[in-house]
C-alpha cells in the first residue's frame, strides 16, 4: 500500500528554481510598456548548445524579431531582462492541431549574450550528460515524487511601479505534485498524462495557461530516520495541454523519450558540429 511522504514545496523549489524561467510578450499602449504571460521553459544544455526547452505552441506565439521578456523565479526582484528574437534559432515540432496528442515540443537556442548573464545567476540543466541514464531507465534512487512547475497566467497582477509612467507586473509560478496516470505514444513521441493532486489548503488555479512549456520533474529521495532527503532531480518531460477532469486537472506532457530521444536527435541533426 502506498505511504504518504511529505516533502516541503520549498525544498523542491530550491532544487529547480534556478533552472526555470517564464516568458512574457511585450506590448506598448499609450507609451507605457506592458508584459503578458507567454509560457514557461527550462534552461538546458544540449551538446555545446545553451537554450530553452519549451512547448512548440509557446514558440509559435512569440515574435520572430524584437524583444521577449524573461521572468526569473526570484521573489521580490524587480527586473527587465529580454531576448532579441532575431538572434535566436529553434527546433520546433508541432502537430496539425493543438490538443492532447501533440507533438508539441521545441528548443530555442539563445543568443550568447543572454547565455552569459543567465549563467551568472541561473543554472542550465545538462540534457546530454543525463541522456544515457534516462534512456536506459536508470533511477538514482528507489523513491520519487513527480511535480509540474510553470508560470500561471491567471496569477499575474499589476504591482506598484518603482517610478512614474512605468507599469510593473508580478508573475507567479507554482509547483504542484501529482501522479502519472498513463503513458502512450503518438506520432513517435511519448506522452504522459499527469493528474494534479488536490489539497484542501492549496486550491489549484482554474486554468494552467502559462504552465505550457514548463517542466515535469521527478524528484528522487531517500529516507533518513523517517524524514525524506532529496538526492537527485530529473527533468522528465514538458507540459503542453490541460484537460479538465471530474476532480482536478490533467496535464498532457511530453515524456523522457521525447526530450532525450526525438527532440535531442532533431537538435543534433540541425547543429551536428555542436553535438558531440
Residue 5 has a pLDDT of 67
From 107, 79, 82, select the one nearest 254 (Cα to Cα): 107
Residue 2 has a pLDDT of 53
Better pLDDT: 228 or 104: 104
Would you say how long the chain is, in residues? 276
| pLDDT band with cut points at 50, 70 and 90 for residue 127 | very high
Q: Is 28 a residue whose pLDDT tops 90?
A: no
pTM of the model: 0.91
Residue 153 has a pLDDT of 85
| pLDDT band with cut points at 50, 70 and 90 for residue 77 | low
The residue ranges of every structural domain in the chain are 10-274
Q: Where are the alpha helices (DSSP H) in the chain?
A: 9-16, 56-60, 112-121, 127-135, 256-257, 264-270
| pLDDT band with cut points at 50, 70 and 90 for residue 1 | very low
In angstroms, rounded to a whole number, what is the distance separating the alpha carbons of residues 214 and 151?
8
| pLDDT band with cut points at 50, 70 and 90 for residue 213 | very high
Q: Span 10-21, mean pLDDT? A: 86
Task: For the beta carbon of residue 120, count every other beta carbon within 10 angstroms.
Answer: 7
Percent of the chain at pLDDT above 90? 58
> Which residues touch 104 (CB under 8 Å, ≥6 apart)?
55, 56, 57, 93, 94, 95, 98, 240, 241, 254
Q: Span 33-59, mean pLDDT? A: 94
Better pLDDT: 117 or 45: 45
Using CB atoms within 10 A of its CB, is residue 232 exposed (0-12), middle (13-18) or buried (19+)?
middle
Q: What angle is formed at CA 235 by the lines to CA 154 and CA 227, rounded to 5 degrees?
A: 90
Amino acid at each position: 500500500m502506498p505511504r504518504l511522504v511529505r516533502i516541503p514545496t520549498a525544498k523542491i523549489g530550491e532544487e529547480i528554481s534556478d533552472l526555470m524561467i517564464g516568458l512574457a510578450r511585450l506590448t506598448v499602449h499609450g507609451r507605457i510598456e506592458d508584459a503578458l504571460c507567454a509560457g514557461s521553459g527550462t534552461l538546458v544544455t544540449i551538446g555545446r548548445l545553451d537554450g530553452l526547452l519549451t512547448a512548440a505552441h509557446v514558440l509559435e506565439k512569440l515574435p520572430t524579431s524584437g524583444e521577449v521578456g524573461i521572468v526569473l523565479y526570484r521573489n521580490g526582484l524587480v527586473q527587465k531582462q529580454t531576448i532579441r528574437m532575431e538572434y535566436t534559432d529553434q527546433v520546433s515540432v508541432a502537430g496539425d492541431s493543438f490538443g492532447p496528442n501533440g507533438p508539441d515540443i521545441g528548443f530555442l537556442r539563445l543568443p550568447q549574450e543572454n547565455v552569459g548573464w543567465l549563467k551568472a545567476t541561473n543554472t542550465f540543466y545538462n540534457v546530454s550528460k543525463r541522456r544515457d541514464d534516462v534512456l536506459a531507465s536508470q533511477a538514482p534512487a528507489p523513491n520519487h515524487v513527480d511535480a509540474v512547475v510553470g508560470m500561471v497566467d491567471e496569477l499575474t497582477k499589476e504591482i506598484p511601479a518603482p517610478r512614474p509612467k512605468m507599469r510593473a507586473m508580478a508573475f507567479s509560478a507554482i509547483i504542484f505534485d501529482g501522479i502519472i496516470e498513463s503513458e502512450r505514444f503518438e506520432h513517435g513521441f511519448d506522452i504522459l498524462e499527469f493528474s494534479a493532486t488536490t489539497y484542501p489548503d492549496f486550491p489549484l488555479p482554474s486554468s494552467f495557461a502559462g504552465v505550457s512549456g514548463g517542466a515535469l520533474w521527478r524528484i528522487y529521495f531517500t529516507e533518513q530516520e523517517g524524514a525524506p532527503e532529496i538526492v537527485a532531480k530529473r527533468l522528465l518531460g514538458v507540459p503542453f495541454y490541460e484537460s479538465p477532469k471530474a476532480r482536478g486537472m490533467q496535464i498532457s506532457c511530453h515524456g523522457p523519450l521525447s526530450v532525450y530521444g526525438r527532440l535531442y536527435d532533431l537538435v543534433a541533426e540541425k547543429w551536428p558540429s555542436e553535438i558531440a
